Structure 1
């Protein structure tokens, strides 16, 4: 599972803590892979909803999912794979998963929770890193918008 820092670089998940109030959610403790950034933060990951209920779904098994480390598991206990990620904003994504065991398809959410230590990059450096991380078409559109000022 990929988690990104606010500077646009990837982040490494160092540990995972289950949410005590919600067994289908966990906090991922992350650190930016860019040495000059140094940002460390917490991202939340949790079960959102099911997309389908397979006919072969075992009786008595709840429709949910859980997180162990950076792996996602279906309610039946089998490992699920991420099929698609839908970024709703810079800090929030829906993760579409498929269970390899029972065929259950479900959605997890991933959201930025809070910062443990801020980035060492300046505001200008962060802006440049973000601009470099967007596709060229979006960059051209941004350039046109900025030319209006």
Structure 2
């Protein structure tokens, strides 16, 4: 079991729709985690598991860039940066 829980993740009980607390988790892979939850509603008390999966990237991580390339991008104007990332995005479609 994983003790480094990200408590910013919120989930709701599918029985009463109240918030639930993540009690524990198991990281099956870098992109898949099982979260073990307990409903916060004492009248419900439902315990359940939720699957957390990585879906897709919305913007690239700075860690994916070569440091020299990152320095060049940081020297660009905001407009030039937007044009660059727009062109990259279009080239991937």
TM-score range, shorter chain: 0.5 to 0.7
Query: Does 1:9 pair with 2:27?
Result: no
* Deviation string, structure 1 residues 92-130 (Cα, Å, up to 9, x no partner): xxxxxxxxxxxxxxxxxxxxxxxxxxxxxxxxxxxxxxx
Higher relative contact order (CA 8 A, sep 6+): 1
Structure 1 segments (4+ residues) deviating >6 Å: none
Distance in 2 (alpha carbons) for counterparts of 1:49 and 1:58: 15
Q: What is the rounded CA distance, in whole Å, between the counterparts of 2:64 and 2:57 in structure 1? A: 15
**Residues 35-74 of structure 1: pairs in structure 2 closer than 5 A:** 35-53=42-60, 56-59=62-65
Q: Which structure is higher in helix share?
A: 2
Query: What per-residue deviation string (whole Å, max 9, x for no partner) do you get for residues 45-67 of structure 1?
Result: 1211112225x43458xxxxxxx
Structure with bigger strand share is: 1
Structure 1: segments with no counterpart, 5+ residues: 61-149
Question: TM-score, with normalisation over the residues of structure 1?
Answer: 0.35
CA distance in structure 2 between the partners assigned to 1:27 and 1:18 by the alignment: 6
Give the whole-Å Cα distance in 1 for the aligned partners of 2:22 and 2:56. Answer: 24
Larger Rg: 2
